Chain A
Amino acid sequence: MNIQITDTCITLGEGVESFLLFEKPALPNYQNVTARPYISIYLGDGATIWSRLQVCTELLADFCHEDPYYGCYALLFRRLCPLLLSSSQPKNVVSYGPPADCGVYRVFQDFMTFLQEGSALTALSQSSYAFTALKESSCHAFLYCLDVFPSLPAVCDAISKVRPGGLVLLYTIKEPLPAGLNELCVHAEKDCFAHCTVYVFTIDESLSALALANGSENAILSRAEEVLKRANDLQNLVHAMLTGTPLPGDAYFIAVTILQQTEEILLSLYDYLEDDELPVNANALKECILNYYGGIRRQCELTSYREKLTQSSELFFAAVEREFQ
């Protein structure tokens, strides 16, 4: 893949295929309200946006031509540019994905500062906590590499950090889209070239509402509710086991199934748990139920199994309550 720069246009090419990134306007227009001129007409001194674009895309090629995301960066630049030109306010752009020393940051930051002193490009670390430091609706654009963290709640969190009219640019070099993201991406425009794809979301009310509903906070809350519901069901079942209430034959099977589901939900919430022993506590309770069931099936004396089941269930239910209520 390569970038070709001429006096009138900048294109991304591979083999015989090409993709137009930027075209030099013949006449000034209303799309640029920054202090810099887009093109030079009669005041010949000083750099123009067009000449800086040429320099920056050349730098991008120098820094990133061996990077598999090279094409994505070029497509991102194309989408970012109109946003940067559209107002004379300093811009706040956030990027999640490339390593901190990636050359793309230098290129984008250089261009942003050229247009407006005080514009900032912030590279987030590759951690699920990275987004929590950002205020809602605080960014003009969010560049998000899907291949680093292909998660619907995380993408929705990213969307919620962007102000109305701003952009979320999801990019990937993988096919197909991860499960769960298809529905969201129908709301996006799509740029494709070779193995590179960029999904472009312009933030509006409906998209913000969708993001809020599917963001990690809601996902965590709904999973926490699932844990509580299962814990409640289990509490009744375990109580019945311990008090000798007659139970249907598959009661133990059901209890263990519920606990396995609970374990899985807790593990999916693992990064957010205050008590990181909770999943293993769920497993310990499952083990006690299996022991109790084994004792019944093998017609053993049940006192020890009952004691362990009592202790383990008390520990687990108390821990769930501490964590979620």
Chain B
Amino acid sequence: MSVKDYIRERFFPHIWCPGCGHGIVLNSFLRAVEQLKINKNKIVITSGIGCSARISGYVDFHSLHTIHGRALAFATGLKLSKPKLKIIVPMGDGDALAIGGNHFIHAARRNIDVTAIIMNNRIYGMTGGQYSPLSGLNIKASTAPFLTIENDFNIVELAKAAGASFVARTTTYHVLEAVTLLKKAIKHKGFSVIEILSQCPTYFGRKNKKGDACSMLELYKKNTGKIGSKKLNNNPDLIKRGIFVNNNKPEYCEEYEKIIQKAATAAAIRQI
């Protein structure tokens, strides 16, 4: 099967701007699914609102385009009712951590078997370049013409602290790494978070003089280092890439199934 078999070709070319990183994430994601050979009918893409959320319309899997920030809440409900399905939730940085911040930490705390792909472009692209909680200090945005004064979240540390059992980070420049990490995240049993740094040349790049998509990708190459690499050891201030957490913890649906069994046994005893 080729990648084309996994998309709804009638909706292409997609709405994303030229050079948008979300397209590269879509590309890597399709390759990960293709290599894992998962049946199309076993995957559900649940997304919220934003540029990133449009992904659910382009892929030929079951898709659920829901309300802003609540994709993980819908995913939780869906997973509980159909635990055999693979649920994948692509989200933007604002969708995941501003509007849906609460859903994000609680999905991580419960360790429900859902894969959250956070496409972090550090801006709200669809609504015109407002700064997001991932923009960080000294960033120009349409709502911060004199630069931002807010600190940003560290998605990896937040997901770790909230209890996610798989946490990884990569960028749209490192495509082969993205495919490998996506495969691991999808296969992982439990809540997996994968942050993919994604360029927004139209708003973030243009407002912050980062150049076009190609120069933004060059920046990802320059400013990130793989965990354990010589480059990162020589310069620990670089953004770290790789797998940060990968452990096995009790998964929510499995624990819930045990409760159902317990309750059923108790009810059966009462009837005797």
A, B bound? no
Which B residues have a C-beta under 8 Å from some C-beta of A?
none
Interface residues of A (CB under 8 A from B): none
